[in-house]
A and B are shown apart, each in its own frame.
Chain A
Amino acid sequence: MNEAYLLWATTGIGLIVSVAASRQKTVKALRIALKRLIGIAPQFLIMILLVSIILYFVSDEMIAHYLGKENKYTAVIFASLIGSITLIPGFIAFPLAGLLLSRGVLYMVLAAFTTTLMMVGVVTYPIEKAYLGTRTTILRNGLSLLIALAVAAVIGIAYGEIP
């Protein structure tokens, strides 16, 4: 959680500098922050709710099972599906990917998994929709899925997994 400390330190310094420059503007900024936060809170709540349910159904064993499929292309498809529907924090996802790598899971499968995990967000859909609208959200995530598959393909070639 070092990231969070760094963020709060930055926030603190920002606030101190801001107050020194203008009290009024700082108060205004804090009011904007609060209003925005309250405005988007229901969507965040829905996202947390979805994550809590999905994390129950998607276990490490299940991910290992589907990513280790015999057919490498099937494994890539499963990897990108699991990556798209889940939102696993990096500090859990990457060690898991490292473990799977040592168990013989292919680099391209891991690429499909980690890249969709980061780029395609089914659970962040409620939040993204609030800002961008339904059509743009679907379009952007669909295109991100294609980019993730392109990354997986190039990784597969680079590591000699695709002949």
Chain B
Amino acid sequence: MTRKITLTINGAKRSDSVEPRMLLIHYLRDVAGFTGPHIGCETSICGACTVHLDGKAIKSCTLFAVQADGRQVLTIEGLAVDGKLDPMQEAFWNEHGLQCGYCTPGMIMTAKQIVERNPHPTDEEIRHGLEGNLCRCTGYQHIVNAVRAAAGKA
């Protein structure tokens, strides 16, 4: 049993037939070919799979693909426009906000939402905003620096 869904990913509309139980992250990665978002836990704890759904950061491992029917998805691949990095991407690069890079796509999508909601967050507010995203490499300090640097530029 499959169901047809139609959605917009990074500005491009597409339709696919998916099993109702297929997770959005598996749909994005295995069906639509957007392997930027990663799977770190499948239990919504780690945030590696974070994408924006209708402009809100969500964990795509705990949503079914069918729940994204008719909606707008933005993944990390959709941030840079015509090869120009988003200020948040640029800030992660400048501030060494990543090491192995596995959590990074989710981290950047969450960081985008933090500064969209609060253009001038304090360090405490940044850290609070990043609570749903785990990183095992950086100790978060350079990530906080990156979000602070990008704030106001996004």
Do the two chains bind? no
Residues of A within 8 A of B (CB): none
Residues of B within 8 A of A (CB): none
